[in-house]
Chains A and B, each alone.
Chain A
């Protein structure tokens, strides 16, 4: 039976791959970054159960890695697709890691000794990594990679420290990119989303005020494996933050700067992060500024009720108009209309978290062109039919799951992933019968 191509190694791609592999279909899982895991690997906890995110995800990542039916291609992208359902010819471009995957043991000695520091993507820019690095402690595959734009050997022709210290002799500066040609029966796109950069919304001062963070940055700050070990040291002075505000719908549900749609998960993850703050320090003050609370999922409303009544998280209905920074203390004052009482009010806090829009990944347009599928006006993959074929695309044999075709939370992404796996398996079986 022909294999299935899964593009994107986040929770949706992982779930689709595992479902297919478990039913005996071979899978090629293509991931752009050095490790599978996606955004879920960066999260501290999940809503509404407050489970540790990586504790749920890591076993699935390992299972993908060990599964005899799954081949993982990391640091790779799909650059060509020809043919039709049942018989696609795919070209996958594997970028060089500059480390021999067969030899590297993931000991991390190379990055310990590497002299070059760069902002860490995994820590959402709050922490640093080296030029040779493991994406994160639970990375799959646990193989180091060299960032050639940062590495001294590639930029200046000096150093080679990693090669000298590597006990497995795995460093390979000569590694070239490689094109793999695959013949697959169907394709599942699970490329996920990107976070909207709120710099464009000048009134909130992101990028100007050090103590204004995005929710993903905060997720790393509050996480035990984050840059501060989970202590809420705010960026300006390291002060432990006890008074924190969340602003919802930053770049979403707007007709001006950003996107008009709802980003689907922010009401819930803000509530989750608020509860995390309270769990760390119950005397903290946490306020969530919202327009509407969208708590439609299973157990969601109960979660918000608990945040409010048990934990004392304060919800204020109103969209803040401006944030001002105290020039000396760097505390932040939020100006807003409390629409529950119809009054213009002010609130001064230690830290502001912006819950920004989930937007289509910047590579979606390129990938859409390669796959030959339509995108909607925002750059999400377009569904064949929103009601009756919500995980199919304009091209037969190409399926979509997760937030690459619109903002989704984890449970919905997982459900869709299983659905696409079933569809893809159908195609694989049909192709087998034809042969």
Chain B
């Protein structure tokens, strides 16, 4: 299976471990990642407060590149996936805007038709690669580990746009975790927001919201939290010490992993290959238990 690979700005600029783990894991599952020459930002919906057309243009341009490659567009980031989905819906409804954007794209020899399939990590791994191939690739099953899944808002909402998983009872990330040999545990607040969108308005609120989830995971004595969204990861992993300080709970020690890192470990890959040394949450005890990583 060949896909146009769109890592997105956050993964490339900041969440390098995520991209590294994806590049390590995917080829071993028979997924060929084709580089997207000239791809830029997904459009980032908040730009619409300045210019909605600029968002749609930026977003449509990336999709046009995937279209020209004749491949499905594979995104790492929940936010990018939603941005592309929203653009697709908007341009389906607004032929004039589509024509205007295509006129701009013509200068680069590009054309947006809306035919490129969008693939989220859940869709590629859960619906595409599937249980059998993942199970076959797992050489060091994570038996005995219990993790909480954090699918992240943008992978499940808004439900009416058609998202990778169910908005109220998402199960795909849980399945993916289970396929590594670990056990995904249902916990209250699984579909809660990580808070990151509020970062520019009220940092303290973000910490409080994220702290609630980490406390729940800790309280259930789970071995960690697993996500596929770089924004959520930034909060739960990179900001975990700040969260502990803000909510005044120094015992918060929750290992956080990208799903592809966890899968890589189960596939017998070394932690350097998976960028795990960049994780800032206390992942070492988990790594020690897996052993030889």
Q: How far is the CA of A154 from the CA of B94 in the complex (A)?
A: 59
Which of B185, B188, B220 is A325 in contact with, Cβ under 8 Å? B188
A324 cross-chain contacts in B, Cβ below 8 A: 188-189
Q: How far is the CB of A331 from chain B (nearest CB, A)?
A: 10
With a CB–CB cut-off of 8 A, which chain B residues contact A205? Answer: 169
**Residue pair B187, A327 in contact (C-beta under 8 Å):** yes
In the bound complex, residues from chain A placing their C-beta under 8 Å from that of B168 are 201-203
Residue contact A327 to B189, C-beta cutoff 8 Å = no
Interface status of A333 (Cβ within 8 A of chain B):
yes
Contact of B169 with A208 in the complex, beta carbons under 8 Å? yes
Q: Does B127 contact A (CB under 8 A)?
A: no
**Which of chain B's residues 173-192 have a Cβ closer than 8 Å to chain A?**
185-189
Question: Which chain A residue lies CB-closest to B222?
Answer: A327
Is A326 part of the contact surface with B, judged by Cβ < 8 Å?
Answer: yes
- Nearest CB on B from A319, distance (A): 15
Do residues A327 and B186 form an inter-chain contact, with CB atoms below 8 A? yes
Bound complex: CA A208 to CA B169 (Å): 9
Query: Which residues of B have CB within 8 Å of A202?
Result: 166-169
Taken together as a complex, chains A and B put the C-alpha atoms of A327 and B188 apart, in Å, by: 7
Q: Which of B166, B168, B220 has the most CB of A within 10 A?
A: B168
Min distance, Cβ B143 to any Cβ of chain A, angstroms: 20
Given the complex of chains A and B, what is the CA–CA distance between A205 and B189 in angstroms? 13
Q: Is there contact, CB below 8 Å, between A327 and B167?
A: no
**Chain B min CB distance to A106 (Å):** 44
Contact across chains for B220 and A327 when beta carbons are under 8 A apart: yes
Of chain B, the residue at the smallest CB distance from A199 is B169
Complex: how many Å from CA A402 to CA B166? 37
Q: Is the interface of A mostly helix, strand, loop or mixed?
A: loop
Please measure, in the bound complex, the distance between the C-alpha atom of A333 and the C-alpha atom of B188, giving whole angstroms: 9
CA distance A201 to B169 in the complex (A): 10
- Min Cβ gap A206→B in Å is 11
Query: Please, how many angstroms separate the alpha-carbon atoms of A327 and B189 in the complex?
Result: 11
Set of chain B residues within 8 Å of A328, measured between Cβ atoms = 220
Q: Is the interface of B mostly helix, strand, loop or mixed?
A: loop
- Cβ-closest chain B residue relative to A323: B188
Determine the residue in chain A with the shortest Cβ distance to B160.
Answer: A256
Q: Chain B: which residue is nearest A324 at the CB level?
A: B188
CB distance from A207 to the nearest CB of B (A): 9
Interface size bucket, B side?
10 to 19
A370 to chain B, nearest CB (A): 36
Q: How many residues of A contact B (CB 8 A)?
A: 11
Are B169 and A326 within 8 A (Cβ)?
no
CB distance from B83 to the nearest CB of A (A): 24
Q: How far is the CB of A89 from chain B (nearest CB, A)?
A: 48
Q: Which of A306-345 contact B (CB under 8 A)?
A: 324-328, 333
Among B167, B186, B188, B220, the most chain A Cβ lie within 10 Å of the Cβ of B188
Chain A residues closer than 8 Å to B189, beta-carbon distance: 324
Contacts of B167 in A (CB 8 A): 202
- CB-nearest residue of chain B to A200: B168
Scan B152-176; emit 1 where CB is below 8 A from any A CB, else 0: 0000000000000011110000000
**Chain B neighbourhood of A326, CB < 8 A:** 188
Q: Which residues of A contact B188 (CB under 8 A)?
A: 324-327, 333
Decide: A327 and B169 in contact? CB cutoff 8 A. no
Give complex CA distance A201, B168 in Å.
Answer: 8
C-alpha spacing A94/B189, complex, angstroms: 51
Q: Complex formed: what's the CA distance from A45 to B166 in Å? A: 38
Q: Across the two chains, which residue of chain B brings its CB closest to A332?
A: B188
Query: What's the least CB distance linking A75 to chain B, in Å?
Result: 37
A92 to chain B, nearest CB (A): 43
The residue in A201, A208, A326, A327 that gathers the most chain B C-beta atoms within 10 A of its C-beta is A327
Q: How far is the CB of A202 from chain B (nearest CB, A)?
A: 2
Closest CB of chain A to B195's CB: distance in Å?
A: 16
Q: Which of B45-95 contact A (CB under 8 A)?
A: none
B185 touches A327 (CB 8 A): yes
- In residues 205-221 of chain B, which contact A (Cβ within 8 Å)? 220
Instruction: List chain B residues, Cβ under 8 A from A325.
Output: 186, 188
Minimal Cβ-Cβ distance residue in B for A201: B168
Q: Which residue of A lies closest to B220 (CB)?
A: A327
Complex Cα–Cα for A433 and B211 (A): 82
Question: A424 CB to closest chain B CB, in angstroms?
Answer: 46
Interface residues of A in 160-185 (CB under 8 A from B): none
Smallest beta-carbon distance B6→chain A, Å: 30
Type the 1/0 row for A187-202, where 1 means its CB is closer than 8 Å to any CB of B. 0000000000000011
Q: Give residues of chain A (108-150) contacting chain B, Cβ–Cβ below 8 Å.
A: none
Q: Which residue of A lies closest to B166 (CB)?
A: A202
- A262 shortest CB reach to chain B, Å: 24
* Bound Cα distance A289, B188 (Å): 21
Chain A nearest Cβ from B238, distance in angstroms: 27
Q: Which B residues are in CB contact (< 8 Å) with A201? A: 168
Q: In the bound complex, what is the Cα–Cα distance between A324 and B186 (angstroms)?
A: 10
**What is the chain A residue whose CB lies nearest that of B190?**
A324
Q: Which residue of A lies closest to B187 (CB)?
A: A327
- Chain A residues with Cβ under 8 A from B220's Cβ? 327-328
Contact with A along B106-144 (1 / 0, CB 8 A): 000000000000000000000000000000000000000
**Nearest CB in chain B to that of A325: its residue:** B188
| A328 CB to nearest B CB, Å | 8
A333 partner residues in chain B, CB cutoff 8 A: 188
**Within the assembled complex, what's the spacing in Å between the Cα atoms of A325 and B185?**
12
How many Å from the CB of B256 to the closest CB on chain A?
Answer: 20
Complex: A141 Cα to B187 Cα, angstroms: 49
> With a CB–CB cut-off of 8 A, which chain B residues contact A203?
168
Complex Cα spacing A205 to B188, Å:
11
B146 to chain A, nearest CB (A): 11
Q: Shortest distance in angstroms between A198's beta carbon and chain B's nearest beta carbon?
A: 12
Contacts of A201-216 to chain B: CB distance below 8 A: 201-203, 205, 208
The smallest beta-carbon distance between B178 and chain A, in angstroms, is: 16
Q: In whole angstroms, what is the CA distance A201 to B159 when docked?
A: 12
Q: From residue B250, how far is it (CB to closest CB) to chain A in Å?
A: 25
| B residues less than 8 Å from A208 (CB atoms) | 169
Cα A67 to Cα B277 in complex, Å, equals 84
5 cross-chain pairs, A with B, having the tightest CB-CB distances, nearest first = A202-B168, A324-B188, A202-B169, A203-B168, A327-B187
Contacts A202-B167, A324-B189, A327-B188 known; list 6 others, CB within 8 Å.
A202-B166, A324-B188, A325-B186, A325-B188, A327-B187, A328-B220
Q: List 20 A-B contacts (CB under 8 A).
A: A201-B168, A202-B166, A202-B167, A202-B168, A202-B169, A203-B168, A205-B169, A208-B169, A324-B188, A324-B189, A325-B186, A325-B188, A326-B188, A327-B185, A327-B186, A327-B187, A327-B188, A327-B220, A328-B220, A333-B188
